[in-house]
Homo-oligomer: A and B are copies of this chain.
Amino acid sequence: MAIILGSHRYGKAENRVVRIYRDTARHEIRDVNVSSALKGDFAPAHLEGDQRNVLPTDTQKNMAYAYAKVVGLNTIEDYGLALARHYVDDVPPVEGARIEIEDYPWERVQVDGEGHDHTFVRKGQETRLCSVTVEGIGDAQQTWVTGGFKDLVILKSTGSEFADFYVDEFTTLAPTHDRVMATSLVARWRFTGTDVDWDATYAGIKALMVSRFATLHSLALQQTLFEMGRAVLEAYDVVAEVRLSAPNKHHFLYDLERFGIENHGEVFHADDRPYGLIQAQVTRDDAPDAGPAWDAYTGLV
Protein backbone atom coordinates (compact mmCIF):
# COMPACT_ATOMS: atom_id res chain seq x y z
CA MET A 1 0.00 0.00 0.00
CA ALA A 2 1.32 3.39 -0.97
CA ILE A 3 -0.03 6.86 -0.35
CA ILE A 4 -0.36 8.78 -3.57
CA LEU A 5 -1.48 12.13 -4.85
CA GLY A 6 -4.86 11.92 -6.55
CA SER A 7 -6.67 14.51 -8.61
CA HIS A 8 -5.45 18.05 -7.98
CA ARG A 9 -5.82 21.54 -9.41
CA TYR A 10 -5.25 25.10 -8.40
CA GLY A 11 -6.09 28.58 -9.58
CA LYS A 12 -7.33 32.05 -8.72
CA ALA A 13 -10.88 32.30 -7.56
CA GLU A 14 -13.27 35.24 -7.66
CA ASN A 15 -11.52 37.89 -9.67
CA ARG A 16 -14.01 40.76 -9.67
CA VAL A 17 -13.57 42.13 -13.17
CA VAL A 18 -15.63 45.10 -14.35
CA ARG A 19 -15.36 46.03 -18.02
CA ILE A 20 -16.63 49.37 -19.33
CA TYR A 21 -17.14 49.78 -23.06
CA ARG A 22 -16.75 53.48 -23.76
CA ASP A 23 -16.02 53.75 -27.46
CA THR A 24 -19.00 56.07 -27.77
CA ALA A 25 -20.75 58.26 -25.25
CA ARG A 26 -23.19 55.41 -24.71
CA HIS A 27 -21.23 53.15 -22.40
CA GLU A 28 -21.81 49.47 -21.75
CA ILE A 29 -20.89 47.57 -18.60
CA ARG A 30 -20.04 43.93 -17.89
CA ASP A 31 -19.54 42.88 -14.29
CA VAL A 32 -18.25 39.39 -13.59
CA ASN A 33 -16.70 37.19 -10.97
CA VAL A 34 -14.24 34.94 -12.77
CA SER A 35 -12.21 32.00 -11.49
CA SER A 36 -9.60 29.89 -13.25
CA ALA A 37 -8.29 26.46 -12.33
CA LEU A 38 -5.42 24.60 -13.93
CA LYS A 39 -4.66 20.90 -14.15
CA GLY A 40 -1.42 19.43 -15.34
CA ASP A 41 2.02 18.42 -14.26
CA PHE A 42 1.88 19.87 -10.75
CA ALA A 43 2.68 16.77 -8.73
CA PRO A 44 6.18 18.05 -7.85
CA ALA A 45 4.61 21.06 -6.13
CA HIS A 46 2.62 18.75 -3.88
CA LEU A 47 5.24 16.09 -3.35
CA GLU A 48 8.37 18.16 -3.00
CA GLY A 49 7.31 21.80 -2.95
CA ASP A 50 8.89 22.22 -6.38
CA GLN A 51 7.09 25.15 -8.06
CA ARG A 52 8.87 25.18 -11.40
CA ASN A 53 5.73 24.16 -13.29
CA VAL A 54 3.37 26.32 -11.27
CA LEU A 55 2.10 29.45 -12.97
CA PRO A 56 1.28 31.67 -9.97
CA THR A 57 -2.36 32.32 -9.19
CA ASP A 58 -1.30 35.97 -9.20
CA THR A 59 -0.52 35.60 -12.89
CA GLN A 60 -3.95 34.10 -13.43
CA LYS A 61 -5.39 37.21 -11.81
CA ASN A 62 -3.45 39.37 -14.24
CA MET A 63 -4.78 37.30 -17.12
CA ALA A 64 -8.40 37.65 -16.07
CA TYR A 65 -8.09 41.46 -16.17
CA ALA A 66 -5.85 41.59 -19.24
CA TYR A 67 -8.16 39.41 -21.34
CA ALA A 68 -11.12 41.61 -20.39
CA LYS A 69 -9.37 44.13 -22.62
CA VAL A 70 -7.52 41.96 -25.14
CA VAL A 71 -10.41 39.60 -25.82
CA GLY A 72 -13.16 41.70 -24.34
CA LEU A 73 -16.18 40.72 -22.32
CA ASN A 74 -18.83 40.92 -24.99
CA THR A 75 -20.00 37.49 -23.98
CA ILE A 76 -18.76 35.67 -20.93
CA GLU A 77 -18.58 32.42 -22.87
CA ASP A 78 -16.18 33.74 -25.53
CA TYR A 79 -14.07 35.41 -22.86
CA GLY A 80 -13.99 32.16 -20.87
CA LEU A 81 -13.07 30.14 -23.96
CA ALA A 82 -10.18 32.48 -24.71
CA LEU A 83 -8.87 32.29 -21.16
CA ALA A 84 -9.10 28.52 -20.97
CA ARG A 85 -7.45 28.02 -24.36
CA HIS A 86 -4.65 30.41 -23.44
CA TYR A 87 -3.66 28.33 -20.44
CA VAL A 88 -3.79 25.03 -22.29
CA ASP A 89 -2.17 26.29 -25.48
CA ASP A 90 0.42 28.72 -24.12
CA VAL A 91 1.56 27.39 -20.75
CA PRO A 92 3.31 24.07 -21.33
CA PRO A 93 2.75 22.41 -17.94
CA VAL A 94 -1.00 23.01 -18.21
CA GLU A 95 -3.06 20.09 -19.53
CA GLY A 96 -6.51 21.33 -18.68
CA ALA A 97 -8.12 24.59 -17.65
CA ARG A 98 -11.49 25.44 -16.22
CA ILE A 99 -12.99 28.92 -16.16
CA GLU A 100 -16.04 29.65 -14.02
CA ILE A 101 -17.91 32.91 -14.35
CA GLU A 102 -20.69 34.58 -12.43
CA ASP A 103 -22.22 37.40 -14.46
CA TYR A 104 -24.13 40.17 -12.66
CA PRO A 105 -26.47 41.96 -15.03
CA TRP A 106 -26.99 45.73 -14.91
CA GLU A 107 -29.58 47.91 -16.55
CA ARG A 108 -29.53 51.53 -17.61
CA VAL A 109 -30.94 54.11 -15.28
CA GLN A 110 -34.05 55.83 -16.60
CA VAL A 111 -33.85 59.62 -16.81
CA ASP A 112 -36.85 61.41 -18.26
CA GLY A 113 -38.03 58.15 -19.75
CA GLU A 114 -34.78 57.32 -21.52
CA GLY A 115 -31.92 55.02 -20.66
CA HIS A 116 -28.95 57.05 -19.44
CA ASP A 117 -25.67 56.88 -21.34
CA HIS A 118 -23.34 56.00 -18.50
CA THR A 119 -25.34 55.29 -15.34
CA PHE A 120 -26.50 51.82 -14.40
CA VAL A 121 -28.14 49.92 -11.55
CA ARG A 122 -27.52 46.30 -10.73
CA LYS A 123 -30.45 44.34 -11.97
CA GLY A 124 -30.31 42.20 -8.90
CA GLN A 125 -32.31 39.29 -10.17
CA GLU A 126 -30.72 35.99 -11.14
CA THR A 127 -26.94 35.61 -11.52
CA ARG A 128 -25.96 34.22 -14.91
CA LEU A 129 -23.39 31.41 -14.86
CA CYS A 130 -21.01 29.78 -17.26
CA SER A 131 -18.17 27.32 -17.12
CA VAL A 132 -15.63 26.48 -19.79
CA THR A 133 -13.39 23.44 -19.58
CA VAL A 134 -10.63 22.82 -22.12
CA GLU A 135 -8.35 19.79 -22.15
CA GLY A 136 -5.60 18.73 -24.52
CA ILE A 137 -3.63 20.32 -27.30
CA GLY A 138 -4.07 20.67 -31.03
CA ASP A 139 -6.36 18.17 -32.71
CA ALA A 140 -6.88 16.35 -29.43
CA GLN A 141 -8.26 19.43 -27.71
CA GLN A 142 -11.72 19.03 -26.23
CA THR A 143 -14.00 21.77 -24.96
CA TRP A 144 -17.06 21.75 -22.72
CA VAL A 145 -19.28 24.76 -22.01
CA THR A 146 -22.11 24.99 -19.52
CA GLY A 147 -24.50 27.87 -19.00
CA GLY A 148 -27.09 28.59 -16.39
CA PHE A 149 -28.33 30.85 -13.67
CA LYS A 150 -28.90 30.80 -9.93
CA ASP A 151 -30.93 32.71 -7.38
CA LEU A 152 -33.97 33.21 -9.59
CA VAL A 153 -36.63 33.49 -6.92
CA ILE A 154 -39.93 32.54 -8.50
CA LEU A 155 -43.34 31.90 -6.97
CA LYS A 156 -46.80 30.96 -8.11
CA SER A 157 -49.66 31.73 -5.79
CA THR A 158 -51.97 29.06 -7.17
CA GLY A 159 -51.90 26.28 -9.74
CA SER A 160 -49.86 23.91 -7.58
CA GLU A 161 -50.87 20.76 -5.68
CA PHE A 162 -49.22 18.17 -3.50
CA ALA A 163 -51.39 15.16 -2.71
CA ASP A 164 -51.67 11.38 -3.01
CA PHE A 165 -48.14 10.93 -1.71
CA TYR A 166 -46.61 7.98 0.13
CA VAL A 167 -47.70 7.80 3.76
CA ASP A 168 -45.91 6.03 6.58
CA GLU A 169 -46.29 6.22 10.35
CA PHE A 170 -44.19 9.39 10.54
CA THR A 171 -46.21 11.25 7.91
CA THR A 172 -48.29 14.09 9.29
CA LEU A 173 -48.50 16.39 6.27
CA ALA A 174 -51.98 17.13 4.95
CA PRO A 175 -52.44 16.87 1.19
CA THR A 176 -53.28 20.09 -0.60
CA HIS A 177 -54.76 20.96 -3.97
CA ASP A 178 -53.90 24.65 -3.88
CA ARG A 179 -50.68 25.92 -2.41
CA VAL A 180 -48.02 28.55 -2.92
CA MET A 181 -45.06 27.06 -4.76
CA ALA A 182 -41.80 28.99 -4.59
CA THR A 183 -38.18 28.28 -5.24
CA SER A 184 -34.83 29.93 -5.71
CA LEU A 185 -34.00 28.15 -8.90
CA VAL A 186 -30.56 26.96 -9.96
CA ALA A 187 -30.64 25.85 -13.59
CA ARG A 188 -27.61 24.80 -15.55
CA TRP A 189 -27.29 23.35 -18.98
CA ARG A 190 -24.55 21.78 -21.06
CA PHE A 191 -23.98 22.89 -24.62
CA THR A 192 -23.20 20.43 -27.39
CA GLY A 193 -20.64 22.79 -28.92
CA THR A 194 -19.37 26.33 -29.03
CA ASP A 195 -21.10 27.65 -32.13
CA VAL A 196 -23.83 29.30 -30.13
CA ASP A 197 -25.43 32.74 -30.01
CA TRP A 198 -24.66 32.91 -26.30
CA ASP A 199 -26.69 35.89 -25.18
CA ALA A 200 -29.77 35.12 -27.23
CA THR A 201 -29.71 31.52 -26.11
CA TYR A 202 -29.42 32.52 -22.50
CA ALA A 203 -32.33 34.93 -22.74
CA GLY A 204 -34.43 32.39 -24.59
CA ILE A 205 -33.80 29.54 -22.17
CA LYS A 206 -34.54 31.68 -19.15
CA ALA A 207 -37.77 32.99 -20.66
CA LEU A 208 -38.84 29.48 -21.59
CA MET A 209 -38.21 28.09 -18.13
CA VAL A 210 -40.04 30.92 -16.45
CA SER A 211 -42.96 30.53 -18.80
CA ARG A 212 -43.17 26.79 -18.22
CA PHE A 213 -43.07 27.30 -14.45
CA ALA A 214 -45.97 29.70 -14.78
CA THR A 215 -48.23 27.85 -17.15
CA LEU A 216 -47.91 24.24 -16.04
CA HIS A 217 -50.53 23.20 -13.52
CA SER A 218 -48.13 21.52 -11.09
CA LEU A 219 -48.81 18.29 -9.25
CA ALA A 220 -45.33 18.42 -7.75
CA LEU A 221 -42.22 20.54 -7.96
CA GLN A 222 -40.62 17.42 -9.45
CA GLN A 223 -42.99 17.58 -12.38
CA THR A 224 -42.40 21.29 -12.93
CA LEU A 225 -38.64 20.80 -13.02
CA PHE A 226 -38.83 18.03 -15.59
CA GLU A 227 -41.15 20.04 -17.80
CA MET A 228 -38.87 23.07 -17.63
CA GLY A 229 -35.93 20.94 -18.69
CA ARG A 230 -37.88 19.24 -21.45
CA ALA A 231 -39.05 22.56 -22.85
CA VAL A 232 -35.45 23.74 -23.12
CA LEU A 233 -34.26 20.57 -24.83
CA GLU A 234 -37.13 20.63 -27.27
CA ALA A 235 -36.42 24.22 -28.26
CA TYR A 236 -32.60 24.29 -28.23
CA ASP A 237 -30.63 21.77 -30.20
CA VAL A 238 -27.42 23.27 -28.85
CA VAL A 239 -28.29 22.04 -25.37
CA ALA A 240 -27.51 18.41 -24.50
CA GLU A 241 -28.63 18.31 -20.92
CA VAL A 242 -30.30 20.44 -18.24
CA ARG A 243 -29.63 20.19 -14.50
CA LEU A 244 -31.99 21.72 -11.99
CA SER A 245 -31.73 22.19 -8.26
CA ALA A 246 -34.74 23.71 -6.57
CA PRO A 247 -35.23 24.39 -2.89
CA ASN A 248 -38.91 24.22 -2.07
CA LYS A 249 -39.18 27.51 -0.21
CA HIS A 250 -42.08 26.68 2.03
CA HIS A 251 -44.86 29.20 2.47
CA PHE A 252 -46.95 27.94 5.36
CA LEU A 253 -50.53 29.13 5.63
CA TYR A 254 -50.72 30.98 8.93
CA ASP A 255 -53.40 29.69 11.27
CA LEU A 256 -55.70 32.68 11.79
CA GLU A 257 -58.82 30.67 12.53
CA ARG A 258 -57.73 30.67 16.16
CA PHE A 259 -58.63 34.35 16.12
CA GLY A 260 -61.82 33.96 14.11
CA ILE A 261 -60.13 35.27 10.96
CA GLU A 262 -60.53 33.52 7.64
CA ASN A 263 -57.36 32.73 5.73
CA HIS A 264 -58.15 31.21 2.37
CA GLY A 265 -54.66 31.16 0.92
CA GLU A 266 -53.96 34.80 1.69
CA VAL A 267 -51.47 35.06 4.58
CA PHE A 268 -48.36 32.91 4.70
CA HIS A 269 -45.21 32.54 6.74
CA ALA A 270 -42.19 32.27 4.46
CA ASP A 271 -39.99 29.83 6.34
CA ASP A 272 -36.21 29.74 6.12
CA ARG A 273 -35.24 26.23 7.13
CA PRO A 274 -35.65 23.35 6.63
CA TYR A 275 -36.65 23.31 2.99
CA GLY A 276 -37.40 20.60 0.49
CA LEU A 277 -34.65 20.25 -2.07
CA ILE A 278 -35.36 18.65 -5.44
CA GLN A 279 -32.62 17.88 -7.93
CA ALA A 280 -33.06 16.45 -11.40
CA GLN A 281 -31.29 16.07 -14.70
CA VAL A 282 -33.13 16.13 -17.99
CA THR A 283 -31.13 14.92 -20.93
CA ARG A 284 -31.19 13.68 -24.50
CA ASP A 285 -30.77 9.93 -24.70
CA ASP A 286 -28.00 10.48 -27.24
CA ALA A 287 -26.24 13.29 -25.40
CA PRO A 288 -22.45 13.20 -25.71
CA ASP A 289 -20.54 12.26 -22.59
CA ALA A 290 -20.36 15.05 -20.03
CA GLY A 291 -16.64 14.52 -19.40
CA PRO A 292 -15.39 17.07 -16.87
CA ALA A 293 -18.13 19.61 -17.73
CA TRP A 294 -19.75 19.41 -14.30
CA ASP A 295 -16.59 19.12 -12.23
CA ALA A 296 -17.22 22.30 -10.22
CA TYR A 297 -14.28 24.22 -8.84
CA THR A 298 -15.44 27.12 -6.67
CA GLY A 299 -18.91 25.84 -5.90
CA LEU A 300 -20.27 29.16 -7.13
CA VAL A 301 -21.06 28.08 -10.68
Q: List residues of chain A with CB under 8 Å of any chain B CB.
A: 1-22, 27, 29, 31, 35, 37, 42, 45-59, 61-66, 68-70, 90-91, 93, 106, 109-112, 116, 118-126, 151-159, 162-166, 168-173, 180, 207, 210-211, 213-215, 218-220, 222-223, 225-226, 229-230, 233-234, 241, 247-248, 251, 254, 256, 258-259, 261-286, 297-299
CA distance A297 to B247 in the complex (A): 12
Known pairs A48-B223, A51-B162, A65-B269; A8 contacts B274 (CB<8 A): no
Given the contacts A4-B282, A59-B172, A222 and B45 also touching, CB distance less than 8 Å: yes
B residues less than 8 Å from A162 (CB atoms): 51, 56
Provide 30 A-B residue pairs closer than 8 Å at the C-beta atoms, listed in order of the A residue.
A3-B229, A3-B282, A6-B283, A10-B276, A10-B279, A11-B277, A15-B273, A16-B272, A17-B269, A18-B251, A22-B158, A22-B264, A27-B157, A27-B158, A37-B277, A49-B218, A51-B163, A51-B165, A55-B166, A55-B171, A56-B165, A56-B173, A61-B274, A62-B170, A62-B172, A91-B166, A116-B214, A121-B155, A122-B153, A170-B259
Tell me whether A173 and B59 are in contact in the complex, defined as CB-CB below 8 angstroms, given that A22-B158, A269-B16 are known contacts.
Answer: yes
Contact present for B120 and A123 (CB under 8 Å) = no
Closest to A247 in B: B13
Main secondary structure of the interface of A (DSSP, over half): mixed
Contact A69 B22 (CB under 8 A): no
Q: A2-B284, A61-B274 are in contact. Are A125 and B121 (CB under 8 A)?
A: yes
- Which of chain B's residues have a CB closer than 8 A to the CB of A59? 168, 170-173
Q: Are A210 and B110 in contact (CB under 8 A)?
A: yes
Q: Of B5, B118, B120, B286, which contacts A1 at CB under 8 A?
A: B286
Q: Is the CB of A267 within 8 A of B69?
A: yes
Smallest Cβ-Cβ distance to A216: which chain B residue: B49
Closest CB in chain B relative to A241 CB, distance in Å? 7
Which residue of B is nearest A7, CB measured? B281
Decide yes or no: A20 and B157 within 8 Å by CB, A65-B254, A234-B3 being known contacts: yes
A125-B121, A226-B47 in contact; A5/B158 too (CB < 8 A)? no
From known contacts A51-B163, A282-B4, infer whether A277 and B168 are also in contact, taking CB-CB under 8 Å. no
For the complex with contacts A10-B279, A15-B273, A119-B210, 5 further pairs of A-B residues with Cβ separation under 8 Å are A3-B285, A18-B267, A68-B266, A119-B155, A123-B125
Partner of A66, one of B13, B56, B256: B256
